[in-house]
Chains A and B, each alone.
Chain A
């Protein structure tokens, strides 16, 4: 059974001024120059490589890490690479103010947990070495166990798909 409580380092995806970046599109997440890559493991190396200031992300990311992102994350094309690159790095969950509609479906279908949190506590998150994210309750906790934010819990269906390991693993008539 895949874990529904994710523990990892928080990455708050901000610009040079420290503000959350909105409208990060699939081209910034995974540039179209690498679309011919078919091995999902290789895709991790290109995550955020086209997002200004975040070129080193693939080298520094560790399995379990949690991303905190702004509005309309994953806008644009339907490319699956923009989800697979995070799965390749073992990213545990993505928490965002909002997501592009197609990106949201692609992520859930591939078993990458997504949570919606309208207000991201940027300063608090950047102060912590580690957070835990409860996919079922939506609670995000500090290392000491204090609830620092409550995201919308993942839907029952999204959790069902996540537990199965992806939509195509879900045998359902």
Chain B
């Protein structure tokens, strides 16, 4: 019988029989912990395995991104605990200068097509963008993965989504993603892997692939996978110098638990209103609502292409009086490219607050939170109450964020 993408990846990493619903032992190509929960992983490890070593320091990583550099003493302590453990065990730390861990894993060629990776980031399934299995887990799981290099996993059933039509600017990858989150809802893909195909997916650049895969979590999915593309191979080659990884694709006779066809032609810019990511509207339906703060960044929309688009829209203009525009690149590499090509200067001239690479707005740190009643537009992936501060948060694309920052009101980018 044919296999789905996740079944192919699993079959290459286990001796157990890979059948949906069955629990298998899965070999891990990499395991990571962030500054969030990382110290707990160390504590669990030390208690359960006193004096013992991690299975393979070369496949074990710390990535600091939640609070980088630490702006609370608690985070500073936690980062210190991780650094000391790393030194003792010979583990590499991608420290506070590096950026969002999941992106660093892809840029560094640690997460490659077909790889299995776990970490303490609930959006680690973003690695589906390069055809890798990524999964966020708690500190107990990660301590075990550090020690033994493997984990247990229930093979999920796979859902197959075929998109027809092509979405055209001003609709972008984020609008397509919000459209899907709105259609499926937060339980629409609960416990399933999702394969998404169609022209609208094939034409995505690497940033767009990342955006789409990052919000699998908000659909309830274990992971989302896309077919390979030129943009994917260019990225992988940049990270590893290689293009010869076998990319996991489904067999023609793979079995899906659900098939879904959606037409995305003529898609309009979309926005998720508070309090949930699946509370999705067409931007024009909410147009005119006043905006106080705009955050551009996050693992969903913090790539070079995302931030350059914002800079292109803002070039030669200034954000509306009273609006705070916050920008945080996803990684140091993205930050450097934007800096060297002059895009940060464009953003500076437009009135933006610019910070170094990390999770920023989504992790309640580093670039500030919102106060009560302060309306924020965010290019992130979650708008639950309290996630990015006290104020209500809307989720949108970088283009909508830029247009809205300019006018100080929710604005669809085609208005400009």
Contacts and interface: CB of A to CB of B under 8 A. Distances in A.
B156 to A, nearest CB: 9
Interface stretch (A12-20, A102-110, A124-132, A136-144): A102-110
Contact of B141 (A23, A105, A156): A105
Contact of A80 (B122, B138, B187, B220): B138
Contacts of B191: 98, 101
B44 interface: yes
B152 A98 contact: no
Contacts of A78: 122, 136, 138
A66 to B, nearest CB: 22
A96 to B, nearest CB: 13
Contacts of B137: 102, 105
Interface string B55-84: 000000000000000000000000000000
B23 A98 contact: no
Contacts of A167: 140-141, 144
Most buried by A among B122, B143, B187: B187
B154 interface: yes
Contact of B138 (A72, A105, A158): A105
B48 interface: yes
Contacts of A102: 122, 136-138
A157 B122 contact: no
A161 B152 contact: yes
Interface in B140-180: 140-141, 143-144, 148, 150, 152, 154
A157 B143 contact: no
A103 B138 CA distance: 10
B22 interface: yes
B187 A72 contact: yes
Question: A-side binding surface: helix, strand, loop or mixed?
Answer: helix
B138 A168 contact: no
B94 interface: no
A172 B48 CA distance: 12
B190 A109 contact: no
B222 interface: yes
A53 B154 CA distance: 34
Given A102-B122, A172-B148, A173-B148, A155 B140 contact: no
Contacts, number: 56
A102 B122 CA distance: 9
Which size class do B's interface residues fall under? 20 to 34
B362 to A, nearest CB: 14
Given A167-B144, A168-B143, A157 B152 contact: yes
Contacts of B24: 157
Given A98-B191, A101-B191, A155-B22, A106 B140 contact: yes
B233 interface: no
B125 to A, nearest CB: 11
A109 B23 contact: no
Interface string A69-80: 001100000101
A37 to B, nearest CB: 15
Contacts of B139: 80
B85 interface: no
Contacts of A173: 148
B190 A72 contact: yes
A168 B140 contact: yes
Contacts of B154: 155
Interface string A96-124: 00100110011001100000000000000
Interface in A38-91: 71-72, 78, 80
Given A101-B190, A157-B24, 11 more contacts: A71-B187, A80-B138, A98-B190, A109-B140, A156-B23, A157-B152, A158-B23, A166-B140, A167-B144, A172-B150, A173-B148
- Which 4 A-B pairs give the minimum distances between C-beta atoms? A155-B23, A168-B48, A157-B23, A157-B152
14 contacts: A71-B187, A72-B190, A80-B140, A101-B222, A102-B138, A105-B138, A106-B140, A155-B22, A157-B24, A158-B23, A166-B140, A168-B44, A168-B144, A173-B148
